[in-house]
């Protein structure tokens, strides 16, 4: 083979890597696979290692995190009905401007969105 053929082969291979990597990045980002959820144990291990926490401090940190999780859950219970009402009002307003065909598609989109929300459950505490 000539040098030109080798060069084309290498360029094609590199282009394939770039396009493939971009496709994986696009897919993972848009499907939420790269949005990690909160991992409490990971945070405690990280803070313990980085700050050199002793056992008493780790216990206090865990208590702080327990207290915060309870407060966040209480706030979420108070706020969720308001967010749900605002979301429903917005959806109802959008439905008013749609044609019957668009309305069917929109209702299906909303159904899928709500299904994903239920699967994910409540936000991390």
Confidence of residue 91 (pLDDT cuts 50, 70, 90): very high
pLDDT at 33: 62
Which residue is associated with the tokens 């282009």? 15
pLDDT at 124: 45
Distances (CA, A) of 96 to 75, 104, 108, 122, 124: 32, 12, 16, 30, 35
Round to whole Å and give the CA distance between 102 and 99: 5
Provide the token pair at 101. 């065909």
Quick: pLDDT tens for 27-77.
777 766 666 667 888 889 989 999 999 999 999 999 999 999 999 999 988
pLDDT at 22: 87
Q: Over 90: is that where the pLDDT of 107 sits?
A: yes
Angle formed at CA 57 by CA 54 and CA 62, multiple of 5 degrees: 125
Closest CA to 61 of 75, 41, 76: 41
């Amino acid at each position: 083979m000539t040098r030109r053929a080798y060069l084309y082969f290498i360029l094609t291979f590199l282009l394939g890597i770039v396009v493939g990597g971009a496709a994986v990045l696009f897919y993972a980002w848009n499907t939420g696979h790269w949005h990690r959820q909160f991992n409490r144990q990971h945070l405690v291990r990280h803070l313990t290692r980085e700050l050199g926490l002793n056992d008493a401090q780790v216990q206090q940190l865990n208590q702080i995190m327990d207290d915060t999780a309870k407060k966040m859950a209480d706030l979420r219970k108070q706020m969720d009905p308001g967010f749900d009402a605002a979301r429903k009002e917005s959806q109802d307003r959008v439905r008013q401007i749609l044609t019957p065909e668009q309305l069917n598609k929109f209702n299906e989109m909303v159904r899928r969105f709500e299904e994903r929300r239920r699967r994910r459950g409540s936000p991390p505490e």
